[in-house]
Amino acid sequence: MPMPLLHLALIAQLPLAQAGQLLLVIGLAFAIITLISSTHRFHRMVQFSEEDLVTVDDCNDFFFIQIARYLSKINRQTAGFGVIIVELKTEATDQRGVQEKLLGEFKKIIREPVDKACLYQTNCVAAIIDTEESSVEPVSRRIATDLKTVVSTLPDITAFRIGVSAFPMHGGNTRQMIDTAIEAMERVDFEETLPIGMAPPPEEEEKPQPDEIGELSRQDKHSSLDPLTGVLSPMVIGSYMRKYFAEIRRNKKPIALLCVGVTGIEHLISLHGEEAADAVIAGVSGVLQRLTRESDLIGRYHRDDFMVLAGCSMEQGEAMALRLHEAVQKETFTFENRQIKALVSVGVAAHPEHGRNLRDLFRGAYRALEVLRGWNTSSCLMYDPAQHDKKRQRNGSPAKTGR
C-alpha cells in the first residue's frame, strides 16, 4: 500500500482525539520540513556563482535574487537601473549550450563587472544594467544593436528579441521589474529589424493626498521603497537587511546598526498637523540619505523610526550617529511656508560586540533608543547590555557617546 494511504488507514483506526493529534503533528512536521528546505535553498542561492547554476529554477532564482540585492543596495544618488531579458530562437537540440554561448557573447557587450548577466528560463539570458533611469533606453538600444551583429555570427540562433524595464519607473520590487520586461518583450516580433521592446511609462494615477502618503505602504504594499521617504519600506526592510548583514559578515567586516527616531512626533503633530509631520519625516530621511555612504542601507520600520545598517566598526557607528544627530538638529524643514525644527535620537549596536545576527543588533539599538525616549531627551546612545537590559531608570541623563 502506498505510504500516504497507509498513514490514512492507520489514522482511521485511532480514536477521534488521537487521530486529530496525529494529523496535527504530521502537518507541523511537513511545515517545518518545507521551511527548512526553503531557507536552505535561499542561503544556497545567494552564495551561488554562475558555475553552480544547474537547473532552470536555479537560473531563475539567481536572477531574481540579484535584482533583489541590487534594489537593497541601490545608489541613493542615481536611483536607477535597467532589466534586460533576451529570448532566443534555436533549432539546436542542446538548447542549454546555445544559451551559454549567447551569455558568453552577451557579457562582452555589457560592462562587466558593473552590469550583471546570467541565464534565465530555458531560452533567455538576462542582465541588470547599472545606469540612470533616463539612460536605460539608449543603452539598451546600443546593446540590442551590438547583439544583432553578434547573433548573425552564431549559426545555432535563428532569431532573438529583447524586453526592457527601468527602475524606478516600472516598479519598486523584483517581480514587477521582471514581469514588465517580459511583457515588453512579448509585444515584439522576432522578425523586426531591431527586435527590442521598451516598457512604456505607467499610466498617470490621481495624485494621492498627503494623509494617504503618510500611511506606511498604503499605496503599494509590495513596493520595496517607502513612497514617502524613498528608503526601504517596512514590508521589505527585514528581509533586505538580513541579506545584507549576511553579506557583510561573509566578508569578515564589522557591522553597526543605528535606530534613528524622530523626537516628539506627537507634539509636532499637535502643533503643525499630520501633513507637516510627514514633511519632517521625509526631510529627516533626506538627511540620512545625504550623510550616509552609498554602501549603507537605510529603511523605515515605524512611522517616525528609521534603521541604518553599515559595514563599519562600533566606533565608526557612534561617530555616524553623532553626525546624523547634529545634522538634523541644524536642519530646518519647510511645510506650507512654515519653518519647522526637528530632533532625532539614535540608538547604536554593533557586531560582534552586541550580537551575532541582525535580530540581536536591532534589539540592542532599539533598546538604547527606548532608553533615550524614557529620558525624554534627544541624543545618541551606544547599547550597553549591563545597563539597558535592566528596568528603565526613572532619573538620569544620557552618557556622551563621542570619542
Q: What is the pLDDT of residues 90-128, one digit of tens each?
A: 999 999 999 999 999 999 998 877 788 889 988 999 998
pLDDT band of 26, cuts 50, 70, 90: low
**Cα dihedral 45→47→53→57 (10° resolution):** 10
Residue 24 has a pLDDT of 52
Of the candidates 96, 88, 162, the residue with the CA atom closest to the CA atom of residue 129: 162
Residue 9 confidence (pLDDT) above 80: no
Q: What is the pLDDT of residues 44-71, one digit of tens each?
A: 443 444 555 556 666 776 676 666 656 6
Q: What's the whole-number mean pLDDT along residues 161-179?
A: 84
Backbone phi, then psi, for 47, in 5-degree steps? Answer: -100, 0
Of the candidates 358, 366, 354, 356, the residue with the CA atom closest to the CA atom of residue 258: 366
Of the candidates 361, 134, 387, the residue with the CA atom closest to the CA atom of residue 255: 361
- Biggest distance spanned by C-alpha atoms of the chain: 79
Stronger pLDDT, 364 or 2, i.e. the higher one: 364
Q: What's the whole-number mean pLDDT along residues 315-337?
A: 93
Whether 24 and 30 have beta carbons less than 8 Å apart is answered as no
Residue 208 confidence (pLDDT) above 70: no
pLDDT band of 16, cuts 50, 70, 90: low
Residue 33 confidence (pLDDT) above 90: no
Domains of the chain in start order, with CATH, are: 54-198 (3.30.70.270), 213-388 (3.30.70.270)
First-to-last alpha carbon distance for the chain, in angstroms, is 72
